[in-house]
Chain A
Amino acid sequence: MGANMAENHPVGFRFVMQAKERGAKLIHIDPRFSRTSAMADLHVALRAGSDLILLGALINYVMSSEHWNRDPFFQEYLTHYTNAATLINPDFKDTEDLAGIFSGYDPEERKYDPEAWRYAGQQGKSSANQHHESQDAMARTEIVGQQDSIPEYDFTLQDPHCAFQIMKRHFARYTPEMVEQACGVPQAVFLQVAEAILTNSGRDRTTSFAYAVAWTQHSIGTQIISCCALLQLLLGNIGRPGGGILALRGHATIQGSTDIPTLYNLLPGYLPMPNATQQHGSLADYLEQERPQKGAWYTMPNYVVSLLKAYYGDAAIPANGFAYDLLPKISADYSFQPMLLMMKDGNLRGLFCMGQNPAVGGQNAVLARQALANLDWLVVRDIHEIETAAFWYDAPEVRRGDLRPQDIGTEIFLMPAALAAEKEGSYTNTERLIQWHDKAVEPRGDCRSESWFVYHLGKRLKQLYQGDTSPRGRQIEAVTWDYPTAGATQDPDLDMVVKEINGYTVADGKPIKNGTALKDDGSTACGCWLYSGIMTEDGHNRARNRKGDERASLGWGFSWPSNQRIMYNRASADPAGKPWSERKKWIWWDAEKEEWTGYDVPDFPEHKQPNYQPAPDAKGLDAIAGDAPFVNMADGRGWLFAASGLRDGPLPTHYEPVETPVSNLLYPGQLHSPTVKLFHRSDNPYHEMADPRFPYVITTYRLTEQYTAGGMSRWVPWLAELQPHGFIEISPELAAEHGITNGDWVTVWTLRGEAEALALVTERLQPLMIDGRTIHQVGMPWHFGFGGLAQGGIANDLSALVEDPNSLIHEAKAFTCNLRKGRIAGQSQGARPL
């Protein structure tokens, strides 16, 4: 669900095909019949934006089924490994009690105070006020839970305040009837799916879900994924081979760019970025706020201090808090969409665009181009002259004459970039596996790698700021920036970068063995604790390893953390430490040697007895019981009820997309997520619910033949010719209503903008019956733009700026539009149909 794996992850889909050869059943739940559906046993067409209803109904189906209630496997997994038995504060009110919202909601601020969702008997750590201000850095303690005592449990699961009972009540209204009404999926089809998933889960079998940005790109995207996590915990499918939720990453190494992040609110290894609006004034304050007392994150000071040591070297000493005050502090939401607004409003003057094409890929791309046109300077590093570098003379509004090049003041620097084969580096993808790739050929002309660009830019900045005593000058001066360079291009030595990421002892510069060797006294330096162990102590980069086998393939690349292939794999054994079954054996307790062993690296303290019970005042991993696999959580349990960490509620709840043709059938009084981040301004208008001017649901997506905003594919003849022009997929039913035939020009519009496309009339799209009326859906690939060989109207000219309050991701997978046959008046761009 929420993924089109065959088209967008064709190489990973190889393994799905191998599973099918071995008898696996493949179900594709998606608004469109895609190349993935063609390979599936079942294709279930649903309304875009209704995924959470279907998942909620699966949860309800499972919890009500005789099979699930009878099989002791599920009960055992549930009571030991999840927080089903944990008692929640009795004052907590669910959406069932408050007509679609949870307790703790402040309607004026449109924010929740998560204190209202805490476990019973637990004191909240931070004040409500802080939570309100901490919107922009997800505090570590919020994610893993701060606990000062052992939670209260009812292992009979009968207490009305236990997470299990709350969850049962919460999902009671997610029924097959509701799925039929709100998703457009016939009940019989839904039941087929539910039965297939339930019967394929248990002691001997596991089911896995693969999703991609078609779940993420919704105003409730995080909750859709949470909902799937709940279902998988109920079914005992987490921490076991063949289970899990596979987050298919949309770009090569986008996982790597979250681990060692390009995100504004994280430091490497998911450490929160210091925030000026929180008590993060000093290193001690920051650690006091962010360090959980229980669970694996207790060792966080080792990671933070080692990171500061890697950043600032000799300037980081205990006396100055390891130069913590040199770290920038954030104070607001600086994610992509607010950044566009800051640019447009003149509050952000310069931009580096590296591997991104916001003139096409930016939400509300009309606004994105206006934002680019309002910068003082713009650096674009790419392999082609992408739209972001060419908008000033070539954008539709310039071609039409609405905007003149001489009125755009942005100074644009286009820097030629090296291709993947022209540089070495690593990829980290869905499976957290870091794989190294070598340089095959030298880049041509002035083309350079990212590492070259960033390193030499840093060198020049250091030169520029030499002797500057301003805070910014001190920051730049203190940064260690001394990688050796080599070759004709003077690229930095990436082995040294890998060593820094891995961590080393400061005294002798030798790589450390793994993350447990990190210290908080300044004797170790480490660029990303999560990747520790990627280099062996004798300096071998394990991401280069290429020895596979029939199971965990521990000799292939290196996966974080500690080369574990399945996280929380303690759950692959029963509470006593025995494999749940021979077929699904993975990690188990060796009673003789008194250690955890198996096919994988155990994600559990090596010698912890399965029956270990922590003392109430135990800290860190010592506070995790021997039968609690989820070592990153303060209570070691998988959370059915998310007592903290989410901004829009402790349980997944369906809200309609910001633009929708139907009301919220589940919670009639609460149409949208109460905490969705909206940007109400005249250049970003939204459509009302069921606005007759915009009757159709539109979803955007990608094709195998093109890649993201097109910078790497639309200029390449061999790829461009395979999908040579922007198109819109329309069902024959809707096409007939508009007199559109295959290959006709179609104009699509929203209140944000309009776009031209060629009609691809296909039965792969189908109208659905929603709440008694026909709803049409159309689909438009978002690859195309005005540059390159393969051109077409920009799908993101139609979309709006909207944010999921947790991930700050937009909502491009479900919004509303209108369309008509014919072209935009005066438009002449793009190729003509044959």
Chain B
Amino acid sequence: MSATIPLIDKTMVGQHGARPGAMGFLTDTTLCIGCKACEVACKQWNQLPMDNFGFTGHSYDNTGDLAAATWRHVVFVEQISDSTGQRATAMAPFQSNWLMMSDVCKHCVNAGCLEACPTGAIIRTEFDTVVIQQDICNGCGYCIPACPYGVPELSATDHQAHKCTLCYDRLDSGLEPACAKACPTDSIQFGPVTALMEHAQTRVADLQSRGVDSAYIYGDRAIGGTGGIDGNNAFFILTAEPEVYNLPAYPELPQDKVGRAFLTTFGAALALGVAAVVALRG
């Protein structure tokens, strides 16, 4: 199995628009053992209730998706057989064939949710993370379609939008986020984004030298942090196409589509008007 990611611009690999002092996550899926300690640590620290209780039948993923009360979600993708249908025996070193990835809010450099928020509830913190202030959010839900990754969700309980805060309260006290603290294999690493990005590039090069040709960074300007987002402060090392993990390869800021959409609408209206005039004259 090897992922061939069609790169639009190779020069953008590892490029990132993080501001000075930005803090973030590197989630290295090649080290993830799918233990879900991150999910539990997150819910415990943030006192989030059990939600969507039930057996899904999707491998060991009974969480399903990021949600108002689920801010870390471990995705499980089984790719056990090789291309001929045979169960694999020899495999790439580190995680392979049963992919596990702890998904989280990307804390975008330019965040769609923040730009869409009409009340100013969504702010950029001193750590360059994106946080919803619960005492200001009025539950309008504009942030939900504005996120290209489908991260925030309106809670059915308090009708406000919720998502990962990158443990703003812990950061404020000099502690690392709960998920990173709990991760036993250091698949989730917390730190300054520039240092993490440097580490990610070394790690990808190391993986490739060991035969994991499919390893790449998701969340730089090349993949995942595209379309005006300018990179994610929470980024990933993946080994299969982004879509395999239910991630968009080339997301765009919805706001960037406004101009185009406006022009299209304007153009269409103009054309229709002209057509109508022509028709009436006729």
A residues whose Cβ falls under 8 Å from a Cβ of B: 6-7, 10-11, 13-14, 17, 20, 25-26, 33, 35-45, 189, 192, 703-705, 717-725, 727, 742-743, 758-760, 762-764, 766, 789, 831-834
Q: Is A764 touching B53 in the complex (CB atoms < 8 A)?
A: no
Q: Is B53 touching A724 in the complex (CB atoms < 8 A)?
A: yes
Q: Once bound together, how far apart are the Cα atoms of A833 and B97, in whole Å?
A: 26
Is B91 engaged at the interface, CB distance under 8 Å to the other chain?
yes
Given A37-B98, A41-B91, also A10-B33 (CB < 8 A):
yes
Chain B, Cβ-Cβ closest to A703 = B60
Interface centre among A35, A703, A717 (most CB of B within 10 A): A35
A-B contact pairs, 11 of them (CB 8 A): A10-B185, A17-B186, A38-B95, A720-B50, A721-B52, A721-B63, A743-B57, A759-B57, A766-B87, A833-B54, A834-B54
Q: Once bound together, how far apart are the Cα atoms of A214 and B230, in whole Å?
A: 49
Residues from chain A with Cβ under 8 Å of B88 in the complex: 43
Q: Is A724 touching B44 in the complex (CB atoms < 8 A)?
A: no
Q: Is A722 touching B62 in the complex (CB atoms < 8 A)?
A: yes
Residues from chain A with Cβ under 8 Å of B96 in the complex: 38
Is B37 engaged at the interface, CB distance under 8 Å to the other chain?
yes
Residues of chain B in range 227-243 having any CB-CB distance to chain A below 8 Å: none
Q: Is B94 touching A20 in the complex (CB atoms < 8 A)?
A: yes
Chain A, Cβ-Cβ closest to B36 = A722
Interface centre among B37, B57, B81, B99 (most CB of A within 10 A): B57
Q: Is A718 touching B185 in the complex (CB atoms < 8 A)?
A: no
Q: Once bound together, how far apart are the Cα atoms of A53 and B49, in whole Å?
A: 49
Q: Is A764 touching B57 in the complex (CB atoms < 8 A)?
A: no
Q: Is B62 touching A17 in the complex (CB atoms < 8 A)?
A: no
Residues from chain A with Cβ under 8 Å of B93 in the complex: 20, 25-26, 41
Given A38-B98, A41-B90, A720-B50, also A705-B184 (CB < 8 A):
no
A-contact bits for B76-108, CB 8 A (1 contact / 0 none): 001011000001111101111111100000000
B residues whose Cβ falls under 8 Å from a Cβ of A: 31, 33-37, 39-40, 43-44, 49-57, 59-60, 62-63, 78, 80-81, 87-91, 93-100, 184-186
Chain A, Cβ-Cβ closest to B42 = A718
Interface centre among A25, A718, A723, A742 (most CB of B within 10 A): A718
- A35 contact from B50, B80, B94, B98, Cβ within 8 A: B98
Chain B, Cβ-Cβ closest to A12 = B184
Q: Once bound together, how far apart are the Cα atoms of A17 and B88, in whole Å?
A: 21
Given A20-B93, A38-B96, also A704-B35 (CB < 8 A):
yes
Ordered nearest first, which 8 A-B pairs have the shortest CB separation?
A717-B50, A763-B80, A743-B57, A38-B98, A725-B55, A834-B54, A6-B33, A10-B35
Chain A, Cβ-Cβ closest to B74 = A722
Q: Is A717 touching B49 in the complex (CB atoms < 8 A)?
A: yes
Residues from chain B with Cβ under 8 Å of A39 in the complex: 33, 94-95
- A719 contact from B33, B40, B55, B185, Cβ within 8 A: B40
Given A33-B80, A764-B80, also A758-B95 (CB < 8 A):
no
Separation in Å of the A348 CB from the closest CB of chain B? 38
Separation in Å of the A579 CB from the closest CB of chain B? 30
Interface centre among A36, A42, A725, A763 (most CB of B within 10 A): A763
- B57 contact from A26, A37, A723, A758, Cβ within 8 A: A758
- B37 contact from A10, A36, A38, A831, Cβ within 8 A: A10
Separation in Å of the B267 CB from the closest CB of chain A? 45
Separation in Å of the B250 CB from the closest CB of chain A? 28
Residues from chain B with Cβ under 8 Å of A26 in the complex: 93
Q: Is A38 touching B97 in the complex (CB atoms < 8 A)?
A: yes
Residues from chain B with Cβ under 8 Å of A724 in the complex: 53-55, 62
Q: Is B31 touching A17 in the complex (CB atoms < 8 A)?
A: yes
Q: Once bound together, how far apart are the Cα atoms of A17 and B93, in whole Å?
A: 10
Separation in Å of the B63 CB from the closest CB of chain A? 7
Q: Once bound together, how far apart are the Cα atoms of A760 and B61, in whole Å?
A: 11
Given A721-B62, A723-B60, also A764-B78 (CB < 8 A):
yes
Residues from chain B with Cβ under 8 Å of A703 in the complex: 60
Q: Is A11 touching B184 in the complex (CB atoms < 8 A)?
A: yes
Residues from chain B with Cβ under 8 Å of A763 in the complex: 78, 80-81, 87
Q: Once bound together, how far apart are the Cα atoms of A724 and B63, in whole Å?
A: 10
Given A704-B35, A719-B40, also A45-B91 (CB < 8 A):
no
Taking A13-B185, A20-B93 as known contacts, 4 extra A-B pairs with beta carbons closer than 8 A to each other, sorted by chain A number, are A10-B33, A36-B33, A42-B89, A833-B57
Q: Is B56 touching A834 in the complex (CB atoms < 8 A)?
A: yes
Residues from chain A with Cβ under 8 Å of B186 in the complex: 14, 17
Separation in Å of the A518 CB from the closest CB of chain B? 39
Separation in Å of the A25 CB from the closest CB of chain B? 8
Q: Once bound together, how far apart are the Cα atoms of A271 and B18, in whole Å?
A: 64
Given A743-B57, A831-B55, also A723-B62 (CB < 8 A):
yes
Given A35-B100, A722-B63, A764-B78, also A704-B36 (CB < 8 A):
yes
Q: Once bound together, how far apart are the Cα atoms of A823 and B186, in whole Å?
A: 42
Residues from chain B with Cβ under 8 Å of A721 in the complex: 50-53, 62-63
Separation in Å of the B245 CB from the closest CB of chain A? 15
Separation in Å of the B224 CB from the closest CB of chain A? 23
Residues from chain B with Cβ under 8 Å of A719 in the complex: 40
Chain B, Cβ-Cβ closest to A704 = B35
Residues from chain B with Cβ under 8 Å of A832 in the complex: 54
Residues from chain A with Cβ under 8 Å of B91 in the complex: 40-43
Q: Once bound together, how far apart are the Cα atoms of A437 and B30, in whole Å?
A: 32
Q: Once bound together, how far apart are the Cα atoms of A39 and B184, in whole Å?
A: 14
Q: Is A720 touching B53 in the complex (CB atoms < 8 A)?
A: yes
Q: Is A727 touching B63 in the complex (CB atoms < 8 A)?
A: no
Q: Once bound together, how far apart are the Cα atoms of A397 and B136, in whole Å?
A: 54
Q: Once bound together, how far apart are the Cα atoms of A720 and B184, in whole Å?
A: 20
- A10 contact from B39, B62, B98, B184, Cβ within 8 A: B184
Q: Is B97 touching A789 in the complex (CB atoms < 8 A)?
A: no
Q: Once bound together, how far apart are the Cα atoms of A831 and B49, in whole Å?
A: 19
- A718 contact from B35, B50, B62, B99, Cβ within 8 A: B50
Q: Is B33 touching A43 in the complex (CB atoms < 8 A)?
A: no
Q: Is B36 touching A705 in the complex (CB atoms < 8 A)?
A: yes
Separation in Å of the B27 CB from the closest CB of chain A? 15
Q: Is A758 touching B55 in the complex (CB atoms < 8 A)?
A: yes
Residues from chain A with Cβ under 8 Å of B49 in the complex: 717
Separation in Å of the B246 CB from the closest CB of chain A? 18
Residues from chain B with Cβ under 8 Å of A760 in the complex: 57, 59
Q: Is B34 touching A35 in the complex (CB atoms < 8 A)?
A: yes
Residues from chain A with Cβ under 8 Å of B81 in the complex: 763
Residues from chain B with Cβ under 8 Å of A834 in the complex: 54-56
Residues from chain B with Cβ under 8 Å of A723 in the complex: 60, 62
Residues from chain B with Cβ under 8 Å of A722 in the complex: 36, 39-40, 62-63
Interface centre among B56, B91, B96 (most CB of A within 10 A): B91
Given A20-B94, A720-B50, A789-B53, also A44-B89 (CB < 8 A):
yes
Q: Once bound together, how far apart are the Cα atoms of A36 and B32, in whole Å?
A: 11
Q: Once bound together, how far apart are the Cα atoms of A128 and B51, in whole Å?
A: 64
Q: Is B36 touching A727 in the complex (CB atoms < 8 A)?
A: no
Residues from chain B with Cβ under 8 Å of A13 in the complex: 33, 184-185
Q: Is A35 touching B51 in the complex (CB atoms < 8 A)?
A: no
Residues from chain B with Cβ under 8 Å of A720 in the complex: 50, 53
Chain B, Cβ-Cβ closest to A17 = B185
Residues from chain A with Cβ under 8 Å of B59 in the complex: 760, 762
Residues from chain B with Cβ under 8 Å of A742 in the complex: 57
Residues from chain A with Cβ under 8 Å of B94 in the complex: 20, 39
Chain A, Cβ-Cβ closest to B187 = A17
Residues from chain A with Cβ under 8 Å of B53 in the complex: 720-721, 724, 789, 831
Separation in Å of the B133 CB from the closest CB of chain A? 25
Residues from chain B with Cβ under 8 Å of A743 in the complex: 55, 57
Chain B, Cβ-Cβ closest to A14 = B184
Chain B, Cβ-Cβ closest to A719 = B40
Chain A, Cβ-Cβ closest to B89 = A189
Separation in Å of the A270 CB from the closest CB of chain B? 31
Residues from chain B with Cβ under 8 Å of A704 in the complex: 34-36
